[in-house]
Amino acid sequence: MASKMRAARDVTGHPISLAIAERKEYTKPLHCEFCDAQVSFVNGYTRTVGEDTIAVEPFFRLLKGHKHHNGCDYDIAGQIAIIARESEGDVIAALKGDKYELRLLAVKKALEQLHAAEQQKKELDPNKPVSTQEKRYAPGETRLGAYINSAKRVLKVRAVCEEHSEIEDFLTLAFDGVRIPWSNFYFEDDDYFRCHRQLSTSSTQIPVAIHGTVKVIKPISTQGGNFMMLELVRPMQNTDKADIRKVAIVSIWSHDARAFEGYQKGQQIIAFGMWAPKPQKEIENKKAGSPIKTFVNYEMRLWPVTRSQLCNA
Model confidence pLDDT, tens digit, residues 137-165: 555 678 889 999 999 999 999 999 989 99
pLDDT of residue 133: 47
Q: Are 239 and 245 in contact (CB under 8 A)?
A: yes
Q: Where are the domains of the chain?
A: 1-66, 102-312
User: Cα-flanking dihedrals φ and ψ of residue 263, to 5°?
Assistant: -105, 155
| Cα 20 from Cα 240, distance rounded (Å) | 47
Burial classification of residue 217, based on how many CB atoms lie within 10 Å of its CB (0-12 exposed, 13-18 middle, 19 or more buried)? middle
Model confidence pLDDT, tens digit, residues 102-132: 999 999 999 999 999 888 877 766 565 554 4
Residues contacting 60, CB < 8 A, separation 6+ = 4, 5, 6, 7, 8, 18, 21, 30, 32, 39, 40, 41, 42
User: Cα-flanking dihedrals φ and ψ of residue 277, to 5°?
Assistant: -85, 145
Percent of the chain at pLDDT exceeding 70: 94
pLDDT of residue 89: 83
pLDDT of residue 282: 96
Question: Can you give the pTM of this predicted structure?
Answer: 0.90
Q: How many CB atoms lie within 10 A of CB 143?
A: 15
End-to-end Cα distance, the chain = 19
Does the pLDDT of residue 182 top 50, yes or no?
Answer: yes
Q: Are 284 and 123 in contact (CB under 8 A)?
A: no
